Amino acid sequence: MDLAVVMPVYNEQDCIVDVVGAWRAMLGRLDIDFCVLVLNDGSRDATGDRLTAFAADPCIRVIDKENTGHGPTILQGYRLAAEMADWVFQCDSDGEMQPDSFGEFWAERESCDAVFGIRAGRAQDLGRRLISTASRAVVRILFGKAVLDVNVPYRLMRSPLLAHIVTQLPQDTFAPNVIIAGALARSGRRIRNLPVPHEVRRTGTASLGGWRLWRSAVRAFWQVLRSRATVDLAGIADR
């Protein structure tokens, strides 16, 4: 098919029907062959029950799985999506970045190998702002400056390129999106960065905070550092 969308979900009972429904409606207007993969990462609230609203929709595939965390869930989705479609798009399920901007991403695809969002108007506390700044700096030093928002959950990528990278990443990779952004930047592929409005979360809470956030950031840093040597980009230019 044309497009597979990867949407990881954890404890989003209050917004998940609206978020999935909004993406379903927008993609339906584009006249493309698509599937939205909704990966329910062991939610402990009523998220799973709410997702049954899409059980009869052939364009929505809900995958209920054990809780493994955001990064491993994204990796699972990427590996599946890359086998299904020519293009893979990833978005989060919290409604902070709306589907309205996707049409511009889709229009750019023929002249690009990947299109990354830049979160415009994003409000962060000091800790998350420091971690985001450090992530950008590390990726620019190790991989170059082609991707401006290295961990953005709003990205469109050619499937063969994505598959070449994700098959080399361990399943427990904490921040695969950072590594994927870095690998694509280092490969010299055609990359476009487009601003996407970022809204304040209206429901639920972020799953990481306090010391857990900082511990996770250190873990992600070492994985990104190792990936510079372990991810083989040979042949990616020909894909």
CA-nearest of 103, 86, 79, 81 to 26 is 103
Element (H, E) at 35: strand 34-41
Separation between Cα atoms, residue 109 and residue 115, nearest integer Å: 7
Continuous segment of H or E residues that includes residue 38: strand 34-41
Strand partners, 155: 90, 116
pLDDT, tens digit (0-9, with 9 covering 90-100), for 96-141? 999 999 999 999 999 999 999 999 976 655 656 666 677 667 767 7
Does the reported pTM lie above 0.85?
yes
Among 94-98, 210-214, 217-221, 225-229, the range with the most confident prediction by mean pLDDT is 94-98
Say how many C-beta atoms besides its own lie within 10 A of residue 197's C-beta.
14
Which pLDDT belongs to residue 129? 66
In the predicted structure, residue 209 carries a pLDDT above the cut 70: no
Q: Does 58 or 121 have the greater pLDDT score? A: 58
pLDDT at 207 over 80: no
Is the pLDDT score of 153 beyond 70?
yes
Q: Region of 95 please: left (phi>0), alpha (psi -120 to 50) or beta.
A: left
Provide the residue type at 221 as one letter: F
Question: Are 91 and 97 within 8 A, CB to CB?
Answer: yes
Burial of 111 per CB tally in 10 Å (0-12, 13-18, 19+): exposed
Are 207 and 70 spatial neighbours (Cβ–Cβ below 8 Å)? yes
DSSP letter (8 states) at residue 59: T
What is d(CA 136, CA 237) in angstroms, rounded to the nearest whole number? 24
Contact yes or no for 183/189 (Cβ under 8 A): no
* Predicted pLDDT at 237: 53
Is 3.90.550.10 the CATH number for 3-238?
yes
pLDDT of residue 204: 58
Q: In terms of residues, how long is the chain?
A: 239
